[in-house]
Structure 1
Amino acid sequence: MSFTPEDLFNNAQIFVSKLNQREISEEDKENIISLKTVSSQKTTCTLDIMTDDSITDNNYLVASPCVSIKRETKPLVLITSGLAATESEVIHKFLGFFNATLLPKYSDDVTHVIVKTDENLKCERTLKYFLGVAGKKWVMSMEWARSCLSAMKIIDEEYFEVRGDTLTETDTLAPKISRLSGSHLRLNSTLSVERENLLSRFQICCFGNFTVDLPCDDLKRLIALCGARLVNSPSFFKLNGLKNTQNMVKCDGKKIAVIVAQTEANPQLDVNRYNDFYRRYNAFPVAREWIFDCVALYDVVPLVHYLHCQRDILKYPDLNYATKMKEE
């Protein structure tokens, strides 16, 4: 017979009530004093019936003065974004109560990204938000931390998962779609298996300077989390030896070449230079906002609205692909 953590919690309260009313014999008390591990789909709990009031260990969720439930789950590792000072105080209480860790920057160890949201569970676009989505982490409203503290247990994350960003009118559900998508396998042109992610079919070069709001290294990390192949120079695109995007996608299965550049940080780059990039490297020069929107929607959006080069110089197969961004 299996029990959920909630069943365990409720049964413990009933037992304590009977214990306090002396309706349980000493022999029964000894038999039930320490209940062993009980498993559920999301967590494993150990229930210990305590007879003194000195429960101070933050690893325990106190059900009553005599009951504690210890959770044996993966350690919680958090990063936060956009929180006010009062909200940061709540997070520090959360850290102590649930023995969680707070990191200053994103890392692969992160389990939850905590952000400030509006009433529609939408948040501002920040680097940490994008990294959380691309990294398939739980991206949570600040209200989740408050609710966990109020309930003295970890609440189901799905009720508080961020539903999108404030720049997008509709609910994109990008964090959930990314988290559940995983990285599926596909056969490449050599019939070997490789993992496919959001931008796995692209090779991307971050070219020139970038402003301090999103340094080049951070942008590259975001792109890498999305599964694209990073190259250090547009000249490496020539290694494919392919003549057009149609061949790259449909024949050889090679990766689409994209050059990401920030115009305002590179005044020396004009439309003629971007046109030359396309002609020389058969690479689409685009604004970095293309990356942001792909992650925000968790979909490969058309390149045509982000092009730095002139649209009329694109060859037909390239123009068709840049407009639709869908494979047949």
Structure 2
Amino acid sequence: MPGNRDLRVRSGNQPRPAPAMEPAAGGAWAHSRAALNRLETLLRCSRCTNILKEPVCLGRCEHIFCSNCVSDCLGAECPVCNTPAWIQDVKINRQLDSMIQLCSKLHNLLHENELSDLKEETSRKNLFNHAESKKNSIKMWFSPRSKKVRYVGDIPSVAYLLQNGSDPNVKDHAGWTPLHEACSHGHLQVVELLLQHKALVNTPGYQNDSPLHDAAKNGHVDIVKLLLSHGASRNAVNIFGLRPVDYADSKTMKSLLLPPEKNESSSTRHCSVMHAAQRRDGPLVLIGSGLSSEQQKMLSELAAILKAKKCAEFDSTVTHVIISGDTVQSTLKCMLGILNGCWILNFEWVRACLQSKQCEQEEKYEIPQGPQRSRLNREQLLPKLFDGCYFYFEGVFRHHPKDNLIKLVTAAGGQILRRKPKPDSDVTQTINTVAYHAKPDSDQRFCTQYILYEDVSCHRPERVRQGKVWMAPSSWFIDCVISFELLPLDS
């Protein structure tokens, strides 16, 4: 056998490779882009068909899903092939998730020529008008980890985008904002630009890391100082319960991040006064809760004047929930409105709007405390109330039907368990995530699984309060929703 012969081995089910030549059109990297597109097709959720976010499987079939897409299927069956599922507490496939992140970076590199085409465009005005109408190309270009990662450090381009209305708080599929990317890569001037254009300083990204986490991890002292001067929270925790100081590897960085602010609490960590320009855009969608027939009629009249939509049942488009008095009601509509960050308003707002024939400022009529906390939480793009929490329903629920409670858990970012968690299970107790909205000085931070029972019924289950698993009455759950707080549980 000749020594210089090039031996090649090809498996029987592998197609014969195409000739090594460039396609007639598409550029030097067309083959690579095509291969990447095929890989991205394989990395799509079997249910929502989007690129996987926090990929999980249900245990017995080959289908892969985003974790949020199968929260209603744990312990039941695969929604695609109906194969029985045996995994109750799914874990994110970190290897596959890392592959998705790497594919995103490779996508950025292979499509750099798109940026050149963008920057050489002779009529930028038309391009930005198109972006404003479609809300796609420019927003995605500016989104940090989905496209054009390295151009977050291109100060003229970022300044131009911000001045022409690009959203500084747009998130990519992993939850990162431009501020996260600029803090991670040490682009101090870009961070300054973003903060000047009302970038949200405490918004969490992937695994609930804040921009301050990213700056601390990468040792960018000047950016840490700048973020702190704009109200960045030293007490912000990621899903592992770690603060920015826990990633500091120098004395200088630790001295900046410790001690925490004397007056900073979990409530100030999550809520702050928002700029008027950060209000939610889009049409008004109104719904009444607990209103009389006369009040419902007046609400319909207001909807016609404001050219707003009036709903009979709550859905994700609702922006304003109108109640009759000054006290939050435990109706499903009102509680869903709170969890979705809607305006929860006294009926006097309707009267004032009818009198002036225009939409009056909502702040004067907003129900305080829980509803306001939730609205600010949404405006700041912070995690939902029960982020990091799992719930198992034990017994019969009559006062608040189980179906309604499940809707509330889902709206609050919680997960449903199909099997009762075992407090003495090593697997259960070694889960290293924490509940985002738990008070930082409470052992409740480390509780991730709640066994709910209805305390107004005769059912009295055995008390459980062990590590990650706690027993909780349904009345506590409802109080948490209404106050938009993870309230302490009595011992």
Please say if residues 223 and 291 of structure 1, whose CA atoms lie closer than 8 Å, have aligned partners that are also in contact: no
> 1:262 aligns to what?
454
Find the partner of 1:107 among 287, 305, 315. 315
Please say if residues 184 and 197 of structure 1, whose CA atoms lie closer than 8 Å, have aligned partners that are also in contact: no
Deviation at 1:239, TM superposition (A): 7.8
> 1:158 aligns to what?
363
Deviation at 1:158, TM superposition (A): 1.2
Please say if residues 421 and 428 of structure 2, whose CA atoms lie closer than 8 Å, have aligned partners that are also in contact: no
Asked which structure has the greater RCO (Cα within 8 Å, sep 6+), the reply is: 1
Could you list the per-position Cα deviations for residues 114-147 of structure 1 after superposition, in whole angstroms to 9, with x for gaps in the alignment?
1011xxx334332222111111011111111111
1:49-198 to 2 correspondences below 5 Å: 74-117=282-325, 121-163=326-368, 173-182=369-378, 196-198=383-385
Counterpart amino acid of 1:274? E
Q: What is the percentage of aligned positions where both structures have the same residue?
A: 25
CA distance in structure 2 between the aligned counterparts of 1:237 and 1:297, rounded to whole angstroms: 28
CA distance in structure 1 between the aligned counterparts of 2:294 and 2:302, rounded to whole angstroms: 13
1:243-254 to 2 correspondences below 5 Å: 243=429, 249=434
Deviation at 1:248, TM superposition (A): 5.9
- TM-score normalised by length of structure 2: 0.37
- TM-score normalised by length of structure 1: 0.54
Give 3-state SS (helix, strand or coil) of 1:241's partner: helix
Counterpart amino acid of 2:474? R
Deviation at 1:183, TM superposition (A): 8.0
Give 3-state SS (helix, strand or coil) of 1:122's partner: coil
Give 3-state SS (helix, strand or coil) of 2:488's partner: coil
Give 3-state SS (helix, strand or coil) of 1:113's partner: strand
> 2:396 aligns to what?
209
Unaligned ranges ≥5, structure 2: 1-280, 436-444
Could you list the per-position Cα deviations for residues 155-205 of structure 1 after superposition, in whole angstroms to 9, with x for gaps in the alignment?
111121112xxxxxxxxx2111111112878xxxxxxxxx73222132111
| Cα pair distance change 1:75/1:249, threshold 3 Å | closer
Give 3-state SS (helix, strand or coil) of 2:392's partner: strand
**Higher normalized strand content (fraction of residues):** 1
Please say if residues 305 and 358 of structure 2, whose CA atoms lie closer than 8 Å, have aligned partners that are also in contact: no
Please say if residues 201 and 254 of structure 1, whose CA atoms lie closer than 8 Å, have aligned partners that are also in contact: no
Find the partner of 2:410 among 208, 211, 224. 224
Deviation at 1:274, TM superposition (A): 1.9
Deviation at 1:149, TM superposition (A): 1.4
CA distance in structure 1 between the aligned counterparts of 2:341 and 2:334, rounded to whole angstroms: 11
Could you list the per-position Cα deviations for residues 78-105 of structure 1 after superposition, in whole angstroms to 9, with x for gaps in the alignment?
2211112221221121122222222222
Deviation at 1:255, TM superposition (A): 5.8
Deviation at 1:254, TM superposition (A): 7.2
| Cα pair distance change 1:217/1:237, threshold 3 Å | farther
Unaligned ranges ≥5, structure 1: 1-72, 164-172, 186-194, 305-310, 312-328
Please say if residues 77 and 101 of structure 1, whose CA atoms lie closer than 8 Å, have aligned partners that are also in contact: yes
Deviation at 1:226, TM superposition (A): 1.8
Could you list the per-position Cα deviations for residues 197-253 of structure 1 after superposition, in whole angstroms to 9, with x for gaps in the alignment?
222132111222211x421111111122222222122148888714489x6659xx9
Give 3-state SS (helix, strand or coil) of 2:322's partner: strand
CA distance in structure 2 between the aligned counterparts of 1:180 and 1:242, rounded to whole angstroms: 33
Please say if residues 210 and 216 of structure 1, whose CA atoms lie closer than 8 Å, have aligned partners that are also in contact: yes
CA distance in structure 1 between the aligned counterparts of 2:312 and 2:424, rounded to whole angstroms: 39
